[in-house]
Amino acid sequence: MILSIAFILAAAMLPAPSPADLVLVHAKIWTADPARPEASALAARSGRIVAVGSDAEVEKLRGPATVVVEGAGRRVVPGFIDAHTHMSMGGFNLLALDLRKTKDPQEFTRLLGEFAKTRPAGVWLTDGAWDHEQWKPSRLPTREMLDPATGDHPACLSRQDGHMSVCNSLALRLAKITRETPDPPGGVIVRDARGEPTGVLKDAAMDAVSAVRPPRTAAELLEAFRTAMRHAASVGVTSVQDLPGEKGDLDAWETLRRAAELTVRVHYRLPLSAWEKARDRRAAMRNDEWIRLGGVKGYADGSLGSSTALFDAPYADDPKNSGVAASEAIPLSRLEERVAGADRAGLQVVIHAIGDRANAQILDVYERVAKANGPRDRRFRIEHAQHLRPADIPRFARLGVIASMEPYHAIDDGRWAEKRIGAERCRTTYAFRSLLDAGARLAFGSDWDVAPLSPIAGIDAAVTRRTIDGRNPRGWFPEQRIGVREALTAYTAEAAWAAFEEGEKGTLAPGRLADFVVLSRDILTVPSEQIVDAKADATVVGGKIVYRAKERPAP
């Protein structure tokens, strides 16, 4: 009895828990934490979650200065982690002209001309994106479409996938590209019937223009990243696994980190060809919860939209073409040497592969390198993993290779992919269901600015596979659809695991970073066709509100 009284008195003398900086209450929280998958409230202090539970439990941590986020019964999920972005490209394109929705070449030329008049004389026009598949009939743009609109501006505009660009005559002259210029390894200079360059350059052929284009200034990069971060917050993206865009990307991110301006967490990768630099740069960096240099990215081939993805069989609409191996994959042994070196240095390696032959080759490379370098937790990734041989699908799980995929591409490319490669090969295009059933791990991203940054758009694509032209209301190859929880997991817990960050993010649990999103609709319960209508009502990063929707009631 005396001991019991002493214990009660001692407990009463303990100091009360420090108030939380922020609490979320009256919500429907999907935590992605198997130990407690659902809750109604959480609390954060010093940027991390200190409690997840009931409203009554969390209210105890509320103090006079605590910021209160009112869930009002809305669905809350962990902050979305985009496993594949090009943030500088996305920011620059938000600041420029978007030509993707032009209906025909005439509108393309007209809008470009109007934009060119707003730019200072002689300035390069390099931002904005186009998609010739929007035109009926589809056809590639040419320099003749650009010349009347661009005047004294050198212009070289990328297709939305970034693997093909169209340049005006002035840009071609500056890059010294003529009918005598040979196709570079890993690239194609598209030519007309007379052998003259049409202005379209594919993959490595674009390097000649990049070499003469003035580099981005530090100020331009900072403006692009600030613009990109605002957009990310508005769609609930709290972390990005960012891939090489401009040479000064990482310096710009670190400048924003030092200025305490970051509203998104950045896991950056340098090019595989510069893996020694990546090794040394990572050793010199702070590598905290805001910015990390996680590894290196390489290329195996091009893209389906540019007809440079590498396949075993020729393209259905271009029988003489089976695609193009990326310049760093020619010969394949050179790419393998780089993968092996980066892996020995402890860098995570991720490689872009689109076509079935490219994916098979990279799986082979990963298998050989892992055997040569010995066992370790390396988490090799294939970015896109778009078109797969059926026999290669179980190899992802067997080899422990992560399929880092972008669901929106399935409903975009699905409009025209069958004319490129036929229906049979399309059956294993973005094979989400088959990969999961085989035991593979999926991490989802957007490939922004190639596709929309919105994770909601990606989840809708994975769950419904309804192509954006409305022609597949029941799903394009619907057998590859997955469930909404599976898609959410690929955008949260699995995306974190794919970057060795599962101990810090991807789930809502005590000790994790306080990154979460309040959604306008409960995507776990609404009919699947309504998922796409959900919006981010509020985005919280590190326990601070970085976005509130103005057009809807504030949480």
Supply the DSSP string of 197-241, one letter for each residue.
EEEEEEEGGGHHHHHHSPPPPHHHHHHHHHHHHHHHHHTTEEEEE
User: What's the whole-number mean pLDDT along residues 90-95?
Assistant: 90
Q: 144 and 181: one domain?
A: yes
Please compute the mean of the pLDDT values over residues 456-475 and round it to a whole number: 97
As a whole number of angstroms, the distance between CA 305 and CA 164 comes to 9
* CA–CA gap between residue 7 and residue 28 (Å, rounded): 37
Residues 99 and 181 in one domain: yes
* Prior bond of 251 cis (ω within 30°): no
In the prediction, which pLDDT does 195 show? 92
Q: Are the C-beta atoms of 412 and 450 separated by less than 8 Å?
A: no
List pLDDT tens digits, range 319-345.
Answer: 999 999 998 889 999 999 999 999 999
As a whole number, the mean pLDDT across the chain is 93
Q: Report the share of the chain in percent with pLDDT over 90.
A: 80
Residue 94 shares a structural domain with residue 208 = yes
Tokens standing for residue 17: 């828990």
| Average pLDDT estimate for 474-488 | 98
Query: Across residues 9-37, what is the average pLDDT?
Result: 83
Nearest-angstrom CA–CA distance, 310 and 185: 14
CATH at residue 152: 3.10.310.70
The answer to which of 8-12, 288-292, 446-450 has the lowest mean pLDDT is 8-12
69 and 44 in a common domain: yes
Task: At 184, list the tokens.
Answer: 């570079």
Same domain, residue pair 95 and 208: yes
Whether residue 396 lies inside any domain: the answer is: no
Instruction: pLDDT band for 99, please (50, 70, 90 cuts).
Output: confident
Which of the four pLDDT bands, split at 50, 70 and 90, describes residue 7?
A: very low
Structural domain of 168: 88-212
Instruction: Say if 498 falls within a structural domain.
Output: no
Least confidently predicted of 69-73, 79-83, 139-143, 311-315: 139-143
Say if residue 20's pLDDT is above 60.
yes
Q: Is residue 43 part of a domain?
A: yes
Question: Would the pLDDT of 365 be above 80?
Answer: yes
- Residue 433 domain flag: no
pLDDT in tens, 491-517: 999 999 999 999 999 999 999 999 999
SS3 131: coil
Task: Point out the domain boundary residue: 149, 184, 212.
Answer: 212
pLDDT tops 80 at residue 2: no
**Alpha carbon distance 447, 439 (integer Å):** 24
User: 313 near 193, Cβ under 8 Å?
Assistant: no
Q: What is the mean pLDDT of residues 365-382?
A: 98
Distance CA 22, CA 67 (A): 5
**Is residue 253, in this structure, part of any structural domain at all?**
no
> In this structure, are 110 and 194 located in the same domain?
yes
- Compute the average pLDDT of residues 240-247: 92
Q: Are residues 142 and 190 in the same domain?
A: yes
Q: What is the pLDDT of residue 496?
A: 98
Residue 145 lies in a domain: yes
Does residue 486 sit within a domain? Answer: no
Residue where a domain terminates, one of 173, 195, 212: 212
Which of the residue ranges 50-59, 182-191, 367-376, 422-431 would you say has the lowest mean pLDDT?
182-191
Model confidence at 290, pLDDT cuts 50, 70, 90, reads very high
DSSP for residue 327: G
Supply the pLDDT for residue 246: 86
74 and 111 fall within a common domain: no
Beta bridge pairs of residue 275: none
Question: What's the pLDDT band for 5 if we cut at 50, 70, 90?
Answer: low
- Same domain flag for 104 and 134: yes
The pLDDT value given to residue 162: 79
Confidence of residue 350 (pLDDT cuts 50, 70, 90): very high
Res. 10 pLDDT band, cuts 50 70 90: very low
**Dist. CA 195–CA 190, nearest whole Å:** 9
What is the pLDDT, as a whole number, of residue 524? 98
* Domain end marker among 212, 233, 252: 212
Pairing of strands 536-541, 67-70: unpaired
Q: Is the pLDDT of residue 253 over 60?
A: yes
Q: Are residues 58 and 159 in the same domain?
A: no
Based on the structure, what is the number of domains in the chain?
2
Maximum CA extent, the chain: 102
Beta strands 516-519; 442-444: pairing state: unpaired
pLDDT at residue 151 tops 50: yes
pLDDT tier, 4 (very low <50, low <70, confident <90, very high otherwise): low
What the block records as the tokens of 54 is 């009931």
Q: Considering the domain boundaries, does residue 345 fall inside one? A: no
How confident is the model at residue 186, as a pLDDT? Answer: 87
Q: Which whole number is the average pLDDT over 352-377?
A: 98
> Once rounded to an integer, what is the mean pLDDT over residues 358-370?
98
pLDDT at 210: 87
Question: CATH code at 525?
Answer: 2.30.40.10
Domain shared by 42 and 92, yes or no: no
Q: Average pLDDT for residues 45-69, to the nearest whole number?
A: 97
Beta-bridge mates of residue 129: 158
Interacting residues of 393 by C-beta distance below 8 A, sequence separation 6+: 428, 431, 434, 435, 438, 440
Can you give the pLDDT at residue 551?
A: 60
What's the pLDDT at 552?
55
Encoded tokens for 345: 């240095």
Identify the pLDDT of residue 237.
98
In a shared domain, residues 94 and 131: yes
pLDDT > 70: percent of the chain: 96
